[in-house]
Amino acid sequence: MLKLRMGIIGAGRIAQDRHIPAYLQLQEKVEVAAVQDLDQARAEEAAASFNIPHVFYDYRDLFSVVDAVTICTPNKFHAEIAIAAMEAGIHVLCEKPMAITTAECERMLEVSRKNKKVLSVAYHYRYTESAQVAKQAMQEIGDPLVTRIQALRQRKVPGWGVFINKEMQGGGSLIDYGCHFLDLALWLLDGLEPAEVTGTAYNRLSKTPDQINEWGNIDHETFEVDDHVSSYVRFENGASMLFECSWAANIKEDTTHISISGVKGGINVFPFELYQSRQGVLTTTEVMTEDNHKKAAFFQAKNFIESCLGEAELICKPEQTLKVTKLIESIYKSSEIGSSVKLQLGGDES
């Protein structure tokens, strides 16, 4: 059987905790052939830990020994590396978000099409059991009317890496964490086009001295990204979405919530429930699901590998993930200018 040779670009936590372990469970289809990092010691440590034969300092040198790459770098470099890889004939799985700007995403998509290379983004929440059940249940709720998202963390600002560096990441809680739930919602809504966005980004809490933070130390004086964001999205067909995400907020506890109310019924995603009116009675249907992120990473890796080998249709398509970045960019712009932003409708969706 033909095996895909995989290269890992960026040997940090997400590569070693999520992507490489997932590939190692699929060794009949993939070989992790190379790893690259600007921190050579970290790359060599990852290679030793996972028995990866090739180590590189320059990601371009890695292309000669792989068929596909998984990009696990700061957001600033996603587009540059993905474009270089695809122009070298390499398939790409890029960590979320697709890129910082819509223009970068459009260029990535253009190069993918021109070179006929698979391009996907690691929005792994799509592959959770609840999300998969929810996708199938969308046909039961009729036309969606209102979508609600809360992706709230009480005190979990990532105090490692470059997560709070605006130049490197493009933002904070929205582009790092909230993006997962915007992607999942847009995927469930199946092509509904956002028409107008109002958003507000905050960072006052993390800029306040002596804050508790569960995920490492942060400097309140230099904190420059958002830690809490709220938004209202109106779609072209009149549907709406209420969105809120945070790394730090004065709330009781962490909350992960997506629900969609439609004309014929409604769903809650985590945990999955279906709400309907049947035979004069309001009903709730529960489905037992296990939302294990390691399992989701496995199915994400499997789908990407099989798509590269021509054995499966890609689940997370770049035409879709480009729209997530466009929405994120619009939320930030709305916050910056203090008014709503109208989005250009249409675009290629598949």
pLDDT tens-digit readout, 118-158 = 999 999 999 999 999 999 999 999 999 999 999 999 999 99
201 phi, psi to nearest 5 deg:
-110, 135
Give the confidence band of 191 by pLDDT, cuts at 50, 70, 90: confident
C-alpha to C-alpha distance for 145 and 143, rounded to whole angstroms: 6
- pTM listed for this prediction: 0.95
Give the confidence band of 1 by pLDDT, cuts at 50, 70, 90: low
Domain range 4-125+296-316, its CATH number among 3.40.50.720, 2.60.40.2310, 3.40.50.261, 3.60.21.10: 3.40.50.720
In the chain, where does the domain assigned CATH 3.30.360.10 lie? 126-290+324-342
- Give the pLDDT confidence score for residue 344 in this predicted structure: 78
Superfamily of the domain at 126-290+324-342: Dihydrodipicolinate Reductase; domain 2 (3.30.360.10)
In the chain, where does the domain assigned CATH 3.40.50.720 lie? 4-125+296-316
Q: What digits encode the pLDDT tens for the residues 272-311?
A: 999 999 989 999 999 999 999 999 999 999 999 999 999 9
- Give the pLDDT confidence score for residue 345 in this predicted structure: 59
- Give the pLDDT confidence score for residue 348 in this predicted structure: 41
